[in-house]
Amino acid sequence: MIELQSVSKSFGQLRAVSEISFATRDGEIFGLLGPNGAGKSTTIKMIMNILAPDSGSILFNGSPLREADKDRIGYLPEERGLYRKVKINEMLHYLASLKNADRSSVEKRLDEWLARFNLVEWKTRTPETLSKGMAQKVQFIASILHDPEFIFLDEPFSGLDPVSTDVLREAVLELGSMGKTILFSTHNMEVAEKICSRLLVIDHGREVISGSLADIKSRYGHNSVAVEFDGTIDFESLSGMVRNVSRFPRWVEMELAEGASSQALLKSLLGQVSVRRFEVVSPSLHQIFVELVGEGGKSGSEKAGE
């Protein structure tokens, strides 16, 4: 278990992290969420003992992190970096050896992961021949090749195309099902909603909300509808019925205004566009996130129940 107790960190006059507290549970996927510059990477670097907190404590299974504990941790930093002139298999073996991993076990896992990510033919090539997405997959393999118990992933999906995002997401879910404790940071709410069992949202270094996804949706969610359609919606004409419209290609998610009827909204839409799907849904994490930390969002002092 990783536990943070009132952890703070400043860089000069900048308060990067302020009184952050949370604890992961064994075998869960825990999301550390927030916009760019929220303090996510700084928090993970303090857990890894790359940065020292100014105050508060960080515990690894009840004790301060020791150097030997790092062999049980896999870490994918936000600042990516590979040895560009070294063959991929040699580099990955070397990085795993730094974690005191058994070479024969590493070789077997390496072949399995390269096959999973369609990278077998690049095994003996150098990273300079890889695309950005392929290089990111290689660095993910480097973070888990020594079979760690704890995995810290800092913006692992950044820059990946949709297909690669799905492949990596399934890999993270599989590792979670194997009992790995995974802490990952992201500003991608859609990915987080599909992966996390619990989460903490921070903004400007402070906690905004934490708890299980179900708790957060129950507390902050409002009645919403998802609409797939053909045509053009006049959203101004719906101003009395909806609020906080989230627009996507060919569909929208709309939060119903207080006292508004979903049936009245449907009737109005049918007069404007061809509706292919109209569904009352629980609010997306993206929608809640925008409401809490977007311009004019609520105070960061509220917290959902654990």
- Beta strand pairing call for 150-154 and 73-76: parallel
- Predicted confidence band of residue 299 (pLDDT cuts 50, 70, 90): very low
CATH of domain 2-217: 3.40.50.300
pLDDT number for residue 119? 93
Min mean pLDDT across 76-85, 115-124, 166-175, 227-236 is at 76-85
The stretch 18-43 carries a mean pLDDT of 92
Q: What is the pLDDT of residue 302?
A: 41
Kindly report the average pLDDT of the chain as a whole number.
Answer: 88
pLDDT score of 295: 55
| Number of Cβ within a 10 Å radius of residue 258 | 7
Position 214 confidence tier, pLDDT thresholds 50, 70, 90: confident
Residue 57 — pLDDT band, cuts 50, 70, 90? very high
Quickly count: other Cβ atoms within 10 Å of residue 175's Cβ.
19
Domain definitions of the chain by residue range = 2-217, 222-281
Q: Is pLDDT at 121 greater than 70 in this prediction?
A: yes
**CATH number belonging to domain 222-281:** 3.30.70
Chain Cα centroid distance, residue 236: 34
The per-residue b/e assignment along 60-82, b for 16 or more CB within 10 angstroms, e otherwise, is beeeebeeeebeebbbbbeeeeb
pLDDT more than 90, % of the chain:
52
Greater pLDDT, 10 or 292:
10
Which pLDDT band holds residue 297 (cuts at 50, 70, 90)?
low
More confident residue, 297 or 287: 287
Could you give the CA distance from residue 60 to residue 174 in angstroms, rounded to a whole number? 23
- Is pLDDT of 303 > 50? no
Answer whether residue 300 shows pLDDT above 70. Answer: no
Q: What's the pTM?
A: 0.78
Q: How confident is the model at residue 284 (pLDDT cuts 50, 70, 90)?
A: confident
pLDDT the model gives residue 305: 39
163 to 132, 220, 224: CA distances (angstroms): 14, 31, 28
| 164 pLDDT more than 90 | no
Mean pLDDT of 164-168: 89
Looking from the CA of 10 toward its CB, the CA atoms found within 13 Å total 8
Mean pLDDT over 210-226 rounds to: 81
220 versus 82: which is more confidently predicted? Answer: 82
CA distance 138 to 122: 10
What pLDDT score does 145 carry? 94
Decide if pLDDT at 181 tops 70.
Answer: yes
**Range of weakest confidence among 58-62, 263-267, 283-287:** 283-287
